[in-house]
Structure 1
């Protein structure tokens, strides 16, 4: 495997004061088809209990994965779901969504991700869609000595077995997986079907790279990952959209005019309300 470039997450806050680590790529190039990777990892309840009160989105997809703890999701489509450890949630916001994500009261710690994907221009104004894995858990496979591969979205071929997630319609043909490996273990994946492949280290370390580090890989080469230490990481793959981006807070469109219209539509109540 060949590492093209690296990026380190920056500490920031979002929502009502939630402490997160963020990698942003709103230039439309560095992460394409992804836009942003937010990681929330803390055992201090004051870091996350304020949560994310109701807020809008247009033109993006949100992909939420919980490794520890949990949130309750609510939106104007009528979805009310508790997303707990091991669960994945995907929301294609299209022309408009209003939602909230508030920590579950019994969450003693939190480790999870919200990842944004850019929707292509042709889909940005379609009706919103929602799906989660609470009834169809993400498939897993034991690998190496004591490692695991969890197919969060898309289809993966791992050690001669095909793992197919129930989430198959992400923008940019997005595919994600969560991998844990013990020191000395190895993972082999063929990546030729993807135009963008990245690894985000969330636990342990790999060679000289520690936690909260994003590695962009050359997708023309297979992934042959030899764990030098115990390590856990997300794999984020897909096909770049290669479209111009206009970004303002929770809205991602293609032009400034479309952004202004998104703000106007939200202010005039056209996104609806959480019931």
Structure 2
């Protein structure tokens, strides 16, 4: 077995989307080959309702799949096909935009006014970009959770892991999407198929991800406070860890434990023409989508 090298660790950056939702973006609108087949990852966590209540009003998508995972609060959604519903804490929605859809997502805080969730965009191969749109809404109670003897917990949202399979299926990127908690001071190794691109997103606690060339961990920063030297691993809250090729990811949890998403998928390796929420293979396909938005033919009739 080979440890995946840690290529990079970087903090998610604050940004604003929709009608004024403040969130943190781990990656997106940069080099689409970097984490192919994944295009964008947002962490929408906020304790101030005024920073998220305006939500994401009606907007189009084509050529991608969006994966929304809610931890706190709710997200009300509706679309141009007549679908509507509410995602609650622990729920997941996997939307295949395919040939095109208009939808809206309106986050609502919990009783304490807190909202937390994630949205991931996955690319579709050219052969599937104009497929019929569809949804997979999954309640948290239907997501299998594995608890290991050392207290490690893994929720299997998509894909197969430790003998359990997540409830979302038929996804083009053939992804594995795991929500992992490793208890304080526990060292744990997770196997990932070598051919997949992979990243971790740490959103609670801290820890060190072993590197193929530096097993003690990566990106350590020393903070000198008087005579005391505290070593802080930068793979703490709201940090993206991007891995190279290999078969295993190993993490050493810190004093408070660590919780992170571990996501991997098969690269598509096709040209990307991208404008906002529309992702195609060529500039002409992109221009065609824009023309259809203007003339009202963006939504394709069901066959």
Write the distance in 1 (CA, Å) between the matches of 2:124 and 2:299.
Answer: 21
Matched, 1:261 2:288: yes
For these two proteins, the number of residue pairs brought into alignment is 269
Of 26, 36, 41, 1:37 maps to 41
The C-alpha deviation readout for 1:84-127, integer Å capped at 9, x for no partner, is 11001000101101111112365621110011001111110111
- Cα deviation, 1:138-172, whole Å, max 9, x if unaligned, reads 11111354432101111112xxxx12111122232
Tell me which residue corresponds to 1:94.
98
Contact 2:72/2:110, CA 8 A, preserved across alignment: no
Q: TM-score, normalised by structure 1?
A: 0.92
- The aligned residue for residue 205 of structure 1 is 206
TM-superposition CA deviations, 1:185-217 (whole Å, max 9, x none)? 233322125421110111111231222211122
Larger Rg over CA atoms = 2
Q: Report if the CA contact (8 A) 1:26-1:247 is conserved.
A: no
Q: Is 1:20 equivalent to 2:23 in the alignment? A: yes
Q: 1:134 aligns with which of 132, 136, 139?
A: 139
Counterpart among 229, 238, 248 of residue 265 in structure 2 = 238
Is residue 8–residue 214 contact of structure 1 (8 Å, CA) maintained in 2? yes
In structure 1, the gaps of 5 or more residues are none
Q: Cα distance, 1:44 vs. partner?
A: 1.0
In the alignment, structure 2 segments of 5+ residues that lack a partner are 209-232
1:150 matched to which residue of 2? 155
Helix, strand or coil for the counterpart of 1:244?
A: coil
Q: Is the 8 A contact 2:207 2:251 kept in 1?
A: no
* Residue number in structure 1 paired with 2:51: 47
TM-score between both structures, scaled by the size of structure 2? 0.83
8 Å Cα contact 1:49-1:102 kept in structure 2: yes
How big is each residue's C-alpha offset from its partner over 1:46-73, in whole Å with a ceiling of 9 and x where there is no partner? 1111111111000111000001111011
Q: Counterpart in 1 of 2:275?
A: 248
1:95–1:134 distance in 2 versus 1, CA, 3 Å:
same
